[in-house]
Amino acid sequence: MGTQTPVRTRDLRSLTTASDPAPVTLQGDAVDVLTRWRAPTEDQERLRSQYVAHLAQRPDGVWRSCLPAHLTTGALVLSHDRRHVLLNLHRKARRWFHFGGHLEPDDQTLAGAALREATEESGLVGLQLDAEPLHLSTHAVEFCGSGSADHLDVRFLALLGADTEPRASEESLEVRWWPVDELPTDEPDMVEMIELGLQR
């Protein structure tokens, strides 16, 4: 993969304080990002509070091994003119989604993980990611590892970079650009996220 250059991404792992010289962890970054985020709606604020509470209760709350719920992250990819959105037909779910997945041990920040997922699943390098969350969504996933789990998804906005030809990963049946007024899904969750992306 090529160099990944998220917009306004902060490497919080390198931040320290006089009272706590330990590097900030991925869990710490998630707490910081979600605590500072100004949710755009009352429903999004309710989810934000639930996510922060989850992380306070579960020190392993960002990892897929945390059950019955854990954080996931991803990105909504828009064209520069915001007339098209890039979606993938998920191989297991057989539905059109944005790009996203589980957090990995090498991830340093939520935004960095979202960029990694979008790059891996779209085949596009040079995506420009806004490090401020765009949208939150909680949903049950029946095919998470050996059973079901609730995904506490943190979505970010990414704009197309120099690479314009997407390629499907092994997790997708197809990757395709869709006009924002001709979406292949009417799921309220997806529609709301795309509307927020168009407003940013």
Does residue 133 lie within any of the structural domains?
yes
Structural domain harbouring 150: 22-199
Q: What share of the chain in percent tops pLDDT 70?
A: 85
Confidence of residue 1 (pLDDT cuts 50, 70, 90): very low
Position 152 scores a pLDDT of: 97
Does residue 171 lie within any of the structural domains?
yes
Does residue 13 lie within any of the structural domains?
no
- Under 8 Å between Cβ of 158 and 78: yes
CATH label of the domain that carries residue 78: 3.90.79.10
Does residue 145 lie within any of the structural domains?
yes
Does residue 36 lie within any of the structural domains?
yes
Burial class (CB in 10 A: 0-12, 13-18, 19+), 72: buried
Position 158 scores a pLDDT of: 97
Question: In whole angstroms, what is the distance from residue 25 CA to residue 189 CA?
Answer: 29
7-16, 27-36, 169-178, range with greatest mean pLDDT: 27-36
Q: For the chain, how many structural domains are there in total?
A: 1
Does residue 9 lie within any of the structural domains?
no
Does residue 10 lie within any of the structural domains?
no
Position 143 scores a pLDDT of: 59
Does residue 157 lie within any of the structural domains?
yes
Mean pLDDT, residues 139-162: 83
- Under 8 Å between Cβ of 100 and 114: yes
| Residue bearing the bigger pLDDT, 181 or 14 | 181
pTM for the full model? Answer: 0.85
